[in-house]
């Protein structure tokens, strides 16, 4: 979603803000802006485009003042225009805000403010915050009272930072992330530790329904009743500052290439948590597994491996759908919530529903300080380091490894899997991408790709099609092999490419038959398999391994294929259009 940032200290704020925004750009990247306060005046610079583009156009980092706020936008209300970019000043220009989230009652508030003579320059919901703050500040003449009054009027979910002309900064959190970075002589406010990790690793994760006021050398954190709130300073892992591309052209490529190591770190040092999860699973009335996007695709795999190797039934639930049928959730059950960021609003909502039904929550997350981790009874960390590329790659394979570890604990006899072997096999695929690169060239001008898989390979086909869509903007769809004749075969002609996920396991022969049926209709076939076949127009070889490991392995060449096809199509693989990494709004 959007990223917000604030700086209060002894250094010139603008360059620090711009650096922080650059690091958080994965959260939203259609517009960017910065505002600083200097000699009781607020100056704003903003525009559409990515941080570097806008910075070279308007020099965001050349603004005077040691107090400032900044924002990268992922549009929700209003188009991608300069005027809709944040920061938004209030009518008087004496207050400016940056906001992440959605103000649900903004129309009502806007109408009220307009009837009182306020005017609006943007189409955003966020601009109302600036003007309500102005109105309340003119009444109360006090920042604390102003924030209290303002949050009592706002509905929805938000994190905002407000900068007052007198040099005070205040920030409030309600169901959107907000972290305070505590430096030697300065403070940072940020949606993500990446916004300030270069300067300090002391962080305060603000609780929901709290706000902070920063003044010279001090800060106070209060709750929405105006009472002092408890907080703790956490040492943030410096590893999260390790978000550099190194020699790789893109974060996405770097993250794909990290997988031989990251799968070995998944769920590391969580033997106790895996044991508790297995105990919960054994005693639960029902097991639900939830997530969004790629994390939901992991839930689909989890269902299959739990039933195949541990004879345990589980129900995957798409997080965004649960609110429409909350009665699915029965009490005395468990919900396994999978989320890289731990901040997806849909996932957090699903957790809320499950908690209401007295379910235990198991979180599989990458960010151990996230809202999801804090809501859970048991948390298992993916430990895959920051995933900056918007499309999930290494987090997916880490999620799978954790799920496999849980199932392995439940039935060691049935599930034999050696992750060192898997890691080596991934390494082998990555060693020589030439064949994948060549195949990617063929995808440059096509408009439809289908990905076919049977059994456990069908969720991988869905995940593969998600990667292709996100990175290449080519229409892509996962097809369960057996359903081909029940409809999708009608789509096959010589304009179409079909990726066949076909490792040599129990699905092999049937899937090969599907490939032949497709080929007979003129479509081109890309086979992902450990066995060559004449039916494949392009064969992408995967190493021979034990059957249980194939799902973890077979997604790797498709991640690579999506990446290289994105380069062919000249799209930005790290920042697909219209998307954002951490979807904290519904």
CB of 155 to ligand F6R, least distance (A): 24
Is residue 161 close enough to count as binding ligand F6R by CB under 6 A?
Answer: no
Q: Which lies closer to ligand F6R via its Cβ, residue 9 or residue 293?
A: 293
Is residue 341 close enough to count as binding ligand F6R by CB under 6 A?
Answer: yes
Q: Which of 349, 470, 549, 574 binds ligand F6R (CB under 6 A)?
A: 470
What does the block give as tokens for 545? 């391994």
Q: Could you confirm whether 359 is annotated as catalytic?
A: no
Q: Which lies closer to ligand F6R via its Cβ, residue 169 or residue 466?
A: 466
Is residue 253 close enough to count as binding ligand F6R by CB under 6 A?
Answer: no
Q: What is the 3-state secondary structure (H, E, C) of 465-515?
A: HHHHHHHHCCEEEEEEHHHHHHCHHHHCCCCCEEEEECCCCCCHHHHHHHH
Q: Which lies closer to ligand F6R via its Cβ, residue 391 or residue 443?
A: 391
What does the block give as tokens for 251? 């974060």
Q: Which of 195, 293, 433, 453 binds ligand F6R (CB under 6 A)?
A: 293
CB of 337 to ligand F6R, least distance (A): 9
**Which is catalytic among the residues 2, 110, 384, 524?**
2
Is residue 295 close enough to count as binding ligand F6R by CB under 6 A?
Answer: yes
Q: Which lies closer to ligand F6R via its Cβ, residue 219 or residue 240?
A: 240
Q: Are 178 and 204 in contact (CB under 8 A)?
A: no
Is residue 340 close enough to count as binding ligand F6R by CB under 6 A?
Answer: yes
Q: Are 332 and 284 in contact (CB under 8 A)?
A: yes
Closest by CA position to 210, among listed 192, 195, 232 = 232
Q: Could you confirm whether 2 is annotated as catalytic?
A: yes
Q: Which lies closer to ligand F6R via its Cβ, residue 384 or residue 496?
A: 384
Instruction: Name the segment binding ligand F6R (CB under 6 A); options: 20-28, 150-158, 293-301, 480-488.
Output: 293-301
Is residue 461 close enough to count as binding ligand F6R by CB under 6 A?
Answer: no
Q: Which of 292, 320, 514, 548 binds ligand F6R (CB under 6 A)?
A: 292
Residues in the chain, how many? 586
Sign, Cα dihedral of 151, 152, 154, 157? positive
Tokens 């076939």: give the residue. Answer: 525
Q: What is the distance between the alpha carbons of residues 383 and 38, in angstroms, rounded to a whole number?
A: 42
CB of 571 to ligand F6R, least distance (A): 14
Q: Which lies closer to ligand F6R via its Cβ, residue 293 or residue 557?
A: 293
CB of 555 to ligand F6R, least distance (A): 11
Q: Which lies closer to ligand F6R via its Cβ, residue 145 or residue 321?
A: 321
Q: Which lies closer to ligand F6R via its Cβ, residue 44 or residue 391?
A: 391
What does the block give as tokens for 350? 């699903």
Instruction: Name the segment binding ligand F6R (CB under 6 A); options: 288-296, 400-408, 535-543, 544-552.
Output: 288-296
Is residue 562 close enough to count as binding ligand F6R by CB under 6 A?
Answer: no
b/e per residue 298-324 (b: at least 16 CB within 10 A): bbbbbbbbbebbbebebebbebbebee
**Shortest Cβ contact with ligand F6R: which residue?**
293
Q: Which lies closer to ligand F6R via its Cβ, residue 100 or residue 210?
A: 100
**Which is catalytic among the residues 22, 238, 581, 586?**
581
CB of 198 to ligand F6R, least distance (A): 23
Is residue 561 close enough to count as binding ligand F6R by CB under 6 A?
Answer: no
Sign, Cα dihedral of 244, 249, 251, 254? negative
Is residue 452 close enough to count as binding ligand F6R by CB under 6 A?
Answer: no
What does the block give as tokens for 26? 């994965």
DSSP 319-372: HHHHTT-GGGPPSS-EEEEEESSS--HHHHHHHHHHHHTT-EEEEEES-TTSHH
Is residue 400 close enough to count as binding ligand F6R by CB under 6 A?
Answer: no
Helices in 155-265 by DSSP H: which ranges? Answer: 251-257, 259-265
Binning the chain into helix, strand and coil, the percentages to the nearest 5 are 40, 25, 35
Instruction: Name the segment binding ligand F6R (CB under 6 A); options: 31-39, 270-278, 340-348, 545-553.
Output: 340-348
Is residue 262 close enough to count as binding ligand F6R by CB under 6 A?
Answer: no
Is residue 392 close enough to count as binding ligand F6R by CB under 6 A?
Answer: yes
Q: Are 1 and 27 in contact (CB under 8 A)?
A: yes
Q: How far is CA 482 from CA 256, 452, 487, 558, in A?
A: 30, 9, 10, 21
Is residue 468 close enough to count as binding ligand F6R by CB under 6 A?
Answer: no
Q: How far is CA 550 from CA 192, 268, 404, 467, 539, in A?
A: 35, 21, 12, 18, 16
Pairing, β 179-182 against β 187-190: antiparallel
Q: Applying CB under 6 A, what is the total number of residues that bind ligand F6R?
A: 15
Q: Which lies closer to ligand F6R via its Cβ, residue 167 or residue 573?
A: 573
What does the block give as tokens for 4? 């917000």
What does the block give as tokens for 134? 């102005």
Is residue 379 close enough to count as binding ligand F6R by CB under 6 A?
Answer: no
Instruction: Name the segment binding ligand F6R (CB under 6 A); options: 334-342, 414-422, 426-434, 497-505.
Output: 334-342
Q: What is the distance between the alpha carbons of residues 61 and 55, in angstroms, rounded to a whole number?
A: 7
Sheet holding 169-174, edge to edge: 88-89, 95-103, 156-164, 169-174, 210-215, 218-223
R_g over Cα of the chain: 25
Is residue 294 close enough to count as binding ligand F6R by CB under 6 A?
Answer: yes
CB of 179 to ligand F6R, least distance (A): 17
Site string for ligand F6R, 501-530 (x = CB under 6 A): ------------------------------
Q: Are 383 and 267 in contact (CB under 8 A)?
A: yes
CB of 24 to ligand F6R, least distance (A): 15
Is residue 347 close enough to count as binding ligand F6R by CB under 6 A?
Answer: yes
* Cβ neighbours, 10 Å, residue 209: 15
By the criterion CB under 6 A, which residues form the site for ligand F6R? 292-295, 339-341, 344, 347, 391-392, 466, 470, 582-583
Q: Which residues are identified as catalytic?
A: 2, 581
């Amino acid at each position: 979603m959007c990223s917000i940032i604030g700086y209060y200290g002894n250094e010139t704020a603008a360059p620090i803000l711009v650096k922080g925004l650059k690091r958080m750009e994965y959260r939203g990247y259609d517009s960017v802006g910065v505002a600083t306060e200097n000699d009781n005046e607020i100056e704003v610079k903003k525009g559409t485009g990515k941080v570097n583009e806008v910075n070279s156009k308007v020099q965001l980092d050349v603004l005077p003042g040691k107090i400032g706020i900044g924002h990268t936008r992922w549009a929700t209300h209003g188009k991608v225009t300069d005027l809709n970019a944040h920061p938004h000043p209030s009518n008087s220009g004496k207050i400016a805000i940056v906001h992440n989230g959605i103000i649900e009652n903004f129309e009502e508030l806007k109408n009220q403010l307009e009837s009182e003579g306020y005017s609006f320059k943007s189409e955003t919901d966020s601009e109302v915050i600036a003007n309500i703050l102005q109105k309340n500040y003119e009444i109360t003449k006090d920042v604390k009272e102003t924030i209290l009054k303002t949050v009592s009027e706002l509905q929805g979910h938000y994190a905002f930072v407000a900068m007052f002309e007198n040099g005070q900064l205040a920030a409030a959190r309600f169901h959107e992330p907000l972290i305070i970075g505590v430096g030697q002589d300065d403070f940072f406010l940020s949606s993500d530790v990446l916004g300030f990790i270069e300067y300090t690793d002391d962080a305060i994760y603000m609780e929901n329904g709290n706000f902070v006021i920063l003044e010279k050398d001090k800060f106070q954190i209060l709750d929405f009743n105006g009472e002092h709130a408890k907080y703790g300073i956490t040492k943030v892992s410096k590893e999260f500052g390790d978000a550099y591309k190194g020699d790789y052209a893109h974060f996405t490529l770097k993250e794909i290439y990290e997988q031989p190591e990251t799968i070995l770190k998944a769920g590391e040092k969580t033997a106790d948590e895996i044991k508790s999860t297995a105990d919960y699973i054994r005693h639960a009335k029902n097991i639900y597994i939830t997530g969004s996007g790629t994390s939901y695709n992991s839930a689909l795999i989890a269902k299959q491996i739990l039933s195949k190797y541990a004879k345990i039934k589980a129900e995957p639930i798409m997080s965004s759908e649960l609110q429409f049928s909350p009665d699915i959730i029965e009490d005395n059950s468990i919900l396994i919530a999978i989320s890289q960021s731990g901040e997806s609003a849909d996932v957090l909502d699903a957790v809320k529903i499950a908690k209401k039904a007295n379910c235990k929550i198991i979180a599989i997350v990458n960010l151990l300080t996230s809202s999801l981790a804090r809501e859970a009874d048991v948390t298992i960390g993916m430990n895959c380091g920051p995933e900056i590329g918007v499309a999930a790659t290494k987090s997916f394979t880490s999620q799978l490894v954790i799920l496999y570890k849980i199932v392995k604990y439940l039935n060691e006899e049935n599930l034999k899997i050696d992750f060192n072997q898997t890691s080596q096999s991934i390494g082998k695929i990555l060693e020589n991408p030439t064949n994948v690169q060549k195949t990617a060239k063929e995808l440059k001008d096509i408009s439809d790709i289908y990905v076919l898989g049977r059994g456990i390979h069908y969720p991988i086909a869905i995940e593969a099609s998600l990667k292709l869509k996100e990175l290449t903007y080519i229409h892509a769809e996962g097809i369960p092999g057996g359903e081909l004749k029940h409809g999708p075969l009608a789509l096959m002609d010589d304009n179409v490419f079909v990726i066949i996920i076909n490792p040599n396991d129990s699905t092999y022969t049937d899937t090969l038959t599907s490939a032949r049926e497709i080929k007979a209709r003129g479509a081109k076939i890309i086979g992902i398999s450990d066995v060559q076949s004449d039916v494949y127009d392009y064969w992408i070889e995967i190493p021979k391994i034990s059957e249980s490991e194939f799902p973890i392995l077979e997604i790797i060449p498709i991640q690579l294929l999506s990446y290289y096809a994105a380069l062919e199509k000249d799209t930005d693989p790290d920042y697909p259009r219209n998307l954002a990494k951490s979807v904290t709004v519904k």
